[in-house]
């Protein structure tokens, strides 16, 4: 599913391109790490440590289906690195979840937290299941049983899950409840992305989309464009895509195309994004919205726009379409939307690709705010959350921009340089024990 890239034509990438094998998130993440480490002259011993997750937990998760049958699913929690703080990262319910994917996505969480300079490490977990095949009762059972199976290795100072594909605030509330019941006390800080009534942060739901919008706005400005004269196509109208599209629309951009899994709509004069409910609220809303043209998800990416934002799933920008993307700037809203080969093509064509580990990092940043609120037992206002998110995003953008300008590298490499320097410094300072 998710997988990303970097901007060199190394042997691996060529092999990969010729064989047309889809990249696993782990292969891509390791390749990116190695490539960025070479740019940085980072101690190879530390790179070696970072190539391997600290631990991967694999558990059986049996539940009784509504029809009385027992079904056993497989759940994972891959804990990559915790040198800068507790493991942190989402839980994904999706049929393609594998051990490898969790490790790769967990690595990306390590870099994402380090780019944002928040005191967490990286993890990812999930269950190989299609949540659409389960009733609410079955999802609740699955979540509670999975939580119990991994209870010993999670906690507010150990590893803090959050929502990801196929999970939502309700899933996090069940996780928090299952954990708290077993521990004998209410422990909201074990998970983030909860509903605010049980310790969730205001603004957490919209945060990944908000950060995508902020970074898009900064990139538009960096490349000397006026946001009011900028056309934008957004692939995906879930939490990330819909929130990013609406904010950019509010800030004067011309959002001309949006899509969901059913396809997309296009209006060169701009869509009224606020009139389209997000996919999770109304699954048919995008395609039933009045618009002069419909487009497929592939066509949307190739529209003649200034900015394209893939904000749905991984591996949508590939060697097959990278040459046909006409947008001047690509902003990665999803985790891993660009394959290695596509990244290399964009680098050659000088098309800036602002990476996921910066652009969508608002999610984990507000997760950090939520964790602080849980520990302090004091809720922040939505205004405070959004103000502090803006401050953190601008600081991270400035850090990445500094590296981008200082070295002849892609935006992805620049973000990796920021992240890896912090992680390597922390490893170096703490040392290898015993
Ligand atoms: N799943 C989100 C991500 O990929 C958020 C993780 C978190 O908040 O811990 O960034």
CATH topology of domain 52-198: Rossmann fold (3.40.50)
User: Among 119, 189, 207, 208, which is best to mutate for testing ligand 1, by the most ligand atoms less than 8 A from CB?
Assistant: 208
Ligand 1 touching residue 121 (CB < 6 A):
no
- Order across the sheet with 70-81: list the strands: 55-64, 70-81, 122-128, 87-94, 159-163
CATH class entry, domain 8-44+206-360+383-434: alpha beta
Please determine whether the domains at 8-44+206-360+383-434 and 52-198 fall in the same fold group of CATH.
yes
pLDDT of residue 39: 81
> Before 115, cis peptide (omega within 30)?
no
Separation in Å, CA 384 to CA 142, 174, 203, 433: 35, 27, 10, 40
pLDDT of residue 38: 84
Ligand 1 touching residue 104 (CB < 6 A):
no
Ligand 1 touching residue 364 (CB < 6 A):
yes
Pair of tokens at residue 312: 């749905």
CB 266, CB 256: distance < 8 Å: yes
Cβ contacts of 306 within 8 Å, gap of 6 or more: 220, 225, 230, 231, 232, 327, 328, 329
Beta-ladder partners of 211: none
CA atoms of 184 and 93, how far apart (whole Å) = 27
Residue 124 known to be catalytic: yes
Ligand 1 touching residue 365 (CB < 6 A):
no
pLDDT of residue 225: 97
* Main-chain phi, psi angles of 200, to 5 degrees: -75, 160
Q: What is the pLDDT of residues 230-287, one digit of tens each?
A: 999 999 999 999 999 999 999 999 999 999 999 999 999 999 999 999 988 898 999 9
pLDDT of residue 21: 64
Mode of pairing for the β-strands spanning 87-94 and 263-266: unpaired
Please state the atom number of ligand 1 nearest to the C-alpha of residue 89: 9
CB 169, CB 205: distance < 8 Å: yes
CB atoms within 10 A of CB 378: 8
pLDDT of residue 35: 82
Beta-ladder partners of 163: 91
Q: What is the pLDDT of residues 377-401, one digit of tens each?
A: 999 999 999 999 999 999 999 999 9
pLDDT (tens, 9 = 90+) of the chain, 434 residues, equals: 333 333 322 223 333 334 346 778 888 888 888 888 888 878 888 899 999 999 999 999 999 999 999 999 999 999 999 999 999 999 999 999 999 999 999 999 999 999 999 999 999 999 999 999 999 999 999 999 999 999 999 999 999 999 999 999 999 999 999 999 999 999 999 999 999 999 999 999 999 999 999 999 999 999 999 999 999 999 999 999 999 999 999 999 999 999 999 999 999 999 999 999 998 889 899 999 999 999 999 999 999 999 999 999 989 999 999 999 999 999 999 999 999 889 999 999 999 999 999 999 999 999 999 999 999 999 999 999 999 999 999 999 999 999 999 998 999 999 999 999 999 999 999 998 88
* Main-chain phi, psi angles of 234, to 5 degrees: -120, 120
* Main-chain phi, psi angles of 230, to 5 degrees: -110, 130
Q: What is the DSSP string of 296-330?
A: -HHHHHTSS-SEEEE-S-SS-B-TTTGGG---SEE
pLDDT of residue 5: 30
* Main-chain phi, psi angles of 223, to 5 degrees: -90, 25
Q: Which of 88, 124, 139, 194 is catalytic?
A: 124
User: Among 193, 239, 337, 357, which is best to mutate for testing ligand 1, by the most ligand atoms less than 8 A from CB?
Assistant: 193
Q: Which of 70, 36, 128 is nearest to 403 (CA)?
A: 36
Domain boundary assignment for the chain: 8-44+206-360+383-434, 52-198
Distance in Å, CA 92 to ligand 1 centroid: 10
Distance in Å, CA 366 to ligand 1 centroid: 9
């Amino acid at each position: 599913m998710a997988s990303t890239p970097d901007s060199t034509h190394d042997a691996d990438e060529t092999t990969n391109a010729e064989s047309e094998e889809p990249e696993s998130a782990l292969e891509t993440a390791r390749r990116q790490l190695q490539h960025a480490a070479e740019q940085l002259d980072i101690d190879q011993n530390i790179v070696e440590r970072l190539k391997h997750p600290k631990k991967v937990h694999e558990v059986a998760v049996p539940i009784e289906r509504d029809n009385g049958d027992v079904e056993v699913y497989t759940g994972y929690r891959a804990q990559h690195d915790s040198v800068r703080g507790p493991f942190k990262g989402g839980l994904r319910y999706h049929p393609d979840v594998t051990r490898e994917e969790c490790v790769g996505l967990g690595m990306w969480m390590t870099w994402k937290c380090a780019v944002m300079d928040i005191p967490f490490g990286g993890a990812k977990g999930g269950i190989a299941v299609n949540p659409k095949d389960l009733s609410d009762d079955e999802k609740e059972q699955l979540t509670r049983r999975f939580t119990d199976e991994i209870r010993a290795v999670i906690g507010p100072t150990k590893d803090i899950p959050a929502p990801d594909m196929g999970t939502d605030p309700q899933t996090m509330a069940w996780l928090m409840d299952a954990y708290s019941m077993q521990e004998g006390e209410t422990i909201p800080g074990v998970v983030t992305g909860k509903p605010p009534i049980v310790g969730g942060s205001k603004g957490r739901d919209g945060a990944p989309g908000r950060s995508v919008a902020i970074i898009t706005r900064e990139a538009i400005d960096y490349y000397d464009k006026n946001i009011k004269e900028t056309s934008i196509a957004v692939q995906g109208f879930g939490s990330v895509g819909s929130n990013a599209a609406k904010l950019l629309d509010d800030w004067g951009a011309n959002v001309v195309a949006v899509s969901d899994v059913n396809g997309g709509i296009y209006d060169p004069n701009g869509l009224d994004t606020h009139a389209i409910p997000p996919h999770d609220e109304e699954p048919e809303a995008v395609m039933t919205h009045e618009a002069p043209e419909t487009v497929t998800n592939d066509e949307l990416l190739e529209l003649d726009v200034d900015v394209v934002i893939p904000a749905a799933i991984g591996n949508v920008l590939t060697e097959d379409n990278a040459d046909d993307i006409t947008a001047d700037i690509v902003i990665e809203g999803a985790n891993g939307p660009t394959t290695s080969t596509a990244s290399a093509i964009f680098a050659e064509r000088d098309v800036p690709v602002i990476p996921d580990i910066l652009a969508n990092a608002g999610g984990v940043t507000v997760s950090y705010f939520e964790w602080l609120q849980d520990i302090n037992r004091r809720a922040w206002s939505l205004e405070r959350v959004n103000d502090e998110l803006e401050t953190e995003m601008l600081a991270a953008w400035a850090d990445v921009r500094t590296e981008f300008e200082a070295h002849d590298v892609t935006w992805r490499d620049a973000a990796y340089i920021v992240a890896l320097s912090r992680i390597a410094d922390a490893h170096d300072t703490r040392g290898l024990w015993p």
